[in-house]
Amino acid sequence: MEFGVFDHLDQRAGAALETLYEERLKLIAGYDAAGISTYHLAEHHATPLGLAPSPSVFLAAVAQRTERLRFGPMVYCLPLYDPLRLIEEICMLDQMSGGRFEFGVGRGISPFEVAYFGVDPTTAQATYMEAFEVLMKGLTQPELNHQGERFSYDAVPMVLTPKQQPHPPLWYGVGAPHGAQWPAEQGINIISNAPCPVTRQATDRYREVWHAAHGAGETLPKMGAARHIYIAETYAEAETVAARAYTAWYNNFMNLWRHFDTDPQVYPSDFKEAQQRDIIIAGSPETAAAEIARQVDAAGLNYFVCRFAFGDLRYDEAARSLALFSEAVAPQFA
């Protein structure tokens, strides 16, 4: 079992931006030392949910602060990018990190965020699919040629190339079981935020489609679920701190939706309900390890993704939770 980290890099009230960035980079260096496999960074705009609206900028710093940790966006919101520019950024990050870059692709979950950039949310999916096609051409061919409805490139020399050939590993977010078909056909790694029963339907579907498309002899891609996690010496302490931090994170998540008087009904506001819906794990090392094991089995996972830093967790709190995870939880899955 490999462990990853997903990070919204959301706002902590009262903390200066430069402090948040520096503390997060210190924590990411801790992920590297702890043997975490991959760091996945969200992209959000005009919301305190995400303070890394340009993932490539922050990930360039991650490349310099780490040695073994793989990293990448989860996801680049493709309708917001010129594919040619993004191809060049991907190649730079992969080369600068010695081939540790992994990149997630998607259209962007919030219609309000893409609309701020003049993108029609109703056409974002079509734009995303064409942008993805251009990316795959530019990362794998010496010249970029493409004539489509939204993008047009004529014999553009691909001077930069990724270190990993034919391209860095791909990731995709799956929210519902039917969403597993396309990434399974493409052999793309997936991460879900859904409760275990829904995620299990998605991973079962993924396995079915993947085996039909690629055969039984190939290595199955990663199928993960992302969960908020907070570990303390005692269950009571963990619940107290996690409930406080989850409330702050939930308010960050809802900030832009509330601005437009909308509720996507993705996450519950109540901490106890969030626990019941497999969204957050809080406990001692023993109880956290047992819950992770339960979810891995229930959801059919071969990859587990932790959110160690969220809401108003201070650096020292998140670092201590990570240390307990590294010392007493992760070894149980070795």
Confidence (pLDDT) at 80 = 97
| 300-to-172, 182, 198 alpha-carbon distances in Å | 17, 18, 11
Confidence (pLDDT) at 110 = 93
Best CA proximity match to 243, nearest among 315, 157, 311: 311
Measure the CA–CA gap between 93 and 87, rounded to whole angstroms: 10
Rg of the chain, C-alpha, whole Å:
19
φ/ψ region of 152 (left if φ > 0, alpha if ψ in -120 to 50, else beta) reads beta
pTM beyond 0.95, yes or no: yes
Domain boundaries, the chain: 2-333
The string of pLDDT tens digits covering residues 199-244 is 999 999 999 999 999 987 778 999 999 999 999 999 999 999 999 9
Best CA proximity match to 112, nearest among 306, 282, 253, 317: 253
The low-confidence residues of the chain, meaning pLDDT below 50, are none
Measure the CA–CA gap between 141 and 188, rounded to whole angstroms: 20
* Chain centre distance of CA 190: 9
Confidence (pLDDT) at 189 = 98
User: What is the residue-wise DSSP string for 247-271?
Assistant: HHHHHHHHHHHHHTT-----S-S-H
Q: Is the peptide bond prior to 241 cis by the omega test (within 30 degrees of 0)?
A: no
Domain 2-333 has CATH 3.50.50.60: no
